[in-house]
Amino acid sequence: MTMKEIQTEQELKQVLDLCYGILGENSPELYGYSAWKERLLNGLQPLVYAVEDGKIVSAVLGRAENSDSLIIGFVACDENYRRRGITKKLMFYFEDLARKLKFKYITLGSEEDAFYEHCGYKIIFQVHGQNIYQKQL
């Protein structure tokens, strides 16, 4: 398994195809292709993915809320590659990049709890049936 940062629009499109296929396509102003393309071009937030046997199998995409705060917009893993530690390793890779970019914490929302807690995230509150997690870097 290889972890990579998205460098090109072609990589971005392939990663988003995985994410949209798993998570659906909603909130186009925040999580549509144009918004992610703009983030890729400004290069100030981590956009990472994992490849195994030439196939994109997992992705973690972040967006800066401000100079201290990074929000994870997408965490997705192909169902055939789950429960193998790939996405957990990718989360740590993402966090290392976030530290290098001088972010102080990462926040995300999810209805799942066990996975993010295993990655060191703590629930800070709940809203609309989602747990909001945060991790200090």
What is the total residue count of the chain? Answer: 137
Residue-wise pLDDT tens digits, 87-112: 999 999 999 999 999 999 999 999 87
Interval 44-90: pLDDT, tens: 899 999 999 999 999 999 999 999 999 999 999 999 999 999 999 99
Which residues are CB-neighbours of 77 under 8 A, at least 6 positions away?
A: 22, 57, 58, 59, 86, 87
* Fold of the 2-136 domain: Aminopeptidase (3.40.630)
Question: What are the CA-CA distances from residue 84 to residues 30, 33, 47, 79, 88 (Å)?
Answer: 30, 28, 21, 11, 9
pTM for the whole structure: 0.94
Instruction: State which amino acid sits at residue 92.
Output: F
The domain segmentation of the chain, as residue ranges, is 2-136
β-strands 47-52, 105-110: how paired?
A: unpaired
| Core vs surface per residue 121-134: b (16+ CB within 10 A) or e | beeeeeeeeebbbb
- pLDDT tens profile 27-42: 888 899 999 999 999 9
